[in-house]
Structure 1
Amino acid sequence: MTKMIDIDPEESPRARFAYELRRHRLAARLTQKQLARRIGFSTSAVAMVETCKFRPSEHFAGLCDQVFGLEGDLGRLYLEVWPPPPPVPAHFRDWAIEEQRATALRFWAPLLIPGMLQTEAFARRIFEREPGLTCEQMEERFAGRMQRRSIFSRTDPPTVMCLIDEGVLHRPVGGAEVMREQLEHLLEMATRPKVTIQIVPYGAEALSGLIGAYAIAEMRGNAYTVRVESQPRGRTITDRDTITEIIDRYDAVRADAYPQHLSCKIIKEAVTEKWT
């Protein structure tokens, strides 16, 4: 008999699906083995979905809806939990999904403006300079990056907190016109009620936290996934101990950051003194 493990549906989107699956199974008075037989999956697969150890397929969710006599409830929840990702590279797909459904996102950007805060011209320049990309691949990645920005158009967009190294304001990506437009876009984004942009000064000494870009996805106050960038490609992490360590580093960097009103002043100075 599989040991019952308590699942908090508020912990993460995946936990919410696991919780709802088990709730409906128990309401139908089915064991994991009985449900597995009815949907054509192994008992271990059902058990691992219910304990957040295995990501099911949309087909799995649909079959469970049929068995429980639901009108697509689990199928719709599946698409909320694992929505179709934007057209992004395979190694970035897991993060792109988490980014779309998180209720809060935190970014540390030591080298470039974070993707979802980039202007079209800034993003295009980055892809133009990436070695080995074909024109088709460049257009696909550009479309994916622009699609990621759609979260800001939602009725209830996520809270976004972004720490940007001061040096990023002075790195000439695409020239003066591109940089001026990009920094003015940052200033416009900072006026939005759920967006916080803070500049980390050259003199910041949270040294361990400064190394490498990363992002943190939260669901209702719980950090559950991080994206760590590295060469040639980054990775998406769900390990709790690693997430805790990255949050600690983020907080250390933020402690050295300028508050938003001073950060906006520094961005405006870069626009007028460097890029005008």
Structure 2
Amino acid sequence: MFGQVPAVLAVDVGQQPAHVSTGSATWLDAAEPAGDPGHQLVEDDHPAVRVYAVARGHRTIFRCPHKLRMITRWPLPCDPNASRSRSVTGVLSHNPDWPARVDRCQRESDQLKIFHNSFIPIPFQTEDYARGLLSAGHAAGLVEDLDTALARRLKHQAAILQRRPVPPLIWAVLDEAALRPMGAPSVMKAQFEHLIECSELSHVSLRIVPLTAAPHVGIDGWFTFFELPGRHLAAFAGATLDVGRMIDEQAEAAAVSVRFDRIAAQALNEDQTRDLLKRAAEDL
């Protein structure tokens, strides 16, 4: 599943989620030593196949009849200290420091492609809409200080949309389902009007995939594609249960861009999108 920064979590650089110990894992691959559990895939027995899951929690990522070697590190273009020559034998890993890496990629990208199917993405959230989402995280004990988290989110938003001297090109596609109410009518009306304003920025393209277009290849999750300086590609996928994955392998990142384009091909054009948002605001 592709994804971005979770809606109800604060992006707090340097303060990543703590790993959860699952006890003595006797089924870890003995061929490679256990390092940070967040960087590893582990296997468990299953009657038909082996089930691979992230060691830090209980979420099954995928099932595969073939055994994978553990991933000890996933080098990223957003990590200047990452080695680009390291061989990676696995295909899926959780990056426990993904919030900081996503933050940096968003700030430094020349171009972003954002797809969301469940809520308004962070760069386009109003203060009240963002407060509502973060309040849910605060109530669940995932956000410690609501006001601090909100201020951080708004600052990060400005760093993306108002970057100087040249802001990034932002191609955003939202499933119409992402427009569902996340607050009082007044909050949603202001949010729809804000989306219209954002869509009129010269460096932003905003389009909506109507509900009638389902099913499409974005049904299974939301994601972000980054084109970084030097035309290096990256993507972020997955932000469920604090599990996040950065994609640095160039062919795979390019495939994320292609997936975005396939979804965009079923979206309304920019003028039709603004008309839909105007009608949604008027109906509130």
Query: What's the counterpart of residue 140 of structure 1?
Result: 148
Deviation at residue 205 of structure 1 after TM alignment: 4.3
Judge conservation of contact 1:212–1:230 (CA < 8 Å) in 2: no
SS of structure 1 residue aligned to 2:239: coil
Deviation at residue 242 of structure 1 after TM alignment: 2.2
Greater helix proportion: 1
Q: CA, structure 1 residues 248+176, in 2 after alignment: closer, same or farther (shift >3 Å)? A: same
Judge conservation of contact 1:127–1:142 (CA < 8 Å) in 2: yes
Q: Which amino acid aligns with 2:129?
A: F
Deviation at residue 112 of structure 1 after TM alignment: 0.6
TM-score (norm 2): 0.62
SS of structure 2 residue aligned to 1:105: strand
Per-residue Cα deviation, 1:142-171 (whole angstroms, up to 9, x for no partner): 2221112223222311111110111222x1
Where do 4+ consecutive residues of structure 1 move more than 6 Å? Answer: none
Q: Which amino acid aligns with 1:111?
A: S
1:155 to 165, 170, 177: 165
Q: Which amino acid aligns with 2:81?
A: P
Deviation at residue 236 of structure 1 after TM alignment: 1.9
d(CA) in 1 for partners of 2:246 and 2:78? 16
Deviation at residue 53 of structure 1 after TM alignment: 11
Query: What's the counterpart of residue 247 of structure 1?
Result: 257
d(CA) in 1 for partners of 2:147 and 2:231? 35
Give aligned-pair identity as a percent. Answer: 25
Higher relative contact order (CA 8 A, sep 6+): 2
Say whether 1:187 aligns with 2:212: no
Moved more, 202-211 or 180-189: 202-211
d(CA) in 2 for partners of 1:271 and 1:223? 39
Q: Which amino acid aligns with 1:214?
A: F
Per-residue Cα deviation, 1:163-185 (whole angstroms, up to 9, x for no partner): 0111222x111110111111110
Q: CA, structure 1 residues 194+210, in 2 after alignment: closer, same or farther (shift >3 Å)? A: same
Q: Which amino acid aligns with 1:198?
A: R
Query: What's the counterpart of residue 257 of structure 1?
Result: 267
Say whether 1:56 aligns with 2:81: yes
d(CA) in 2 for partners of 1:155 and 1:53? 20
Deviation at residue 55 of structure 1 after TM alignment: 3.2
d(CA) in 1 for partners of 2:181 and 2:218? 24
Aligned length: 190
Say whether 1:219 aligns with 2:228: yes
Judge conservation of contact 2:225–2:234 (CA < 8 Å) in 1: yes
- Which blocks of at least 5 consecutive residues in structure 2 are unaligned? 1-76, 83-95
2:177 to 167, 179, 189: 167
From the CA coordinates, give the structure whose radius of gyration is larger.
Answer: 1
Greater strand proportion: 2
Deviation at residue 206 of structure 1 after TM alignment: 5.8
TM-score (norm 1): 0.63
Superposition CA RMSD, Å: 2.3
Q: How does 1:41-80 map to 2 (within 5 A)?
A: 55-56=80-81
d(CA) in 2 for partners of 1:186 and 1:53? 28
Q: Which amino acid aligns with 1:55?
A: P
Judge conservation of contact 2:143–2:149 (CA < 8 Å) in 1: no
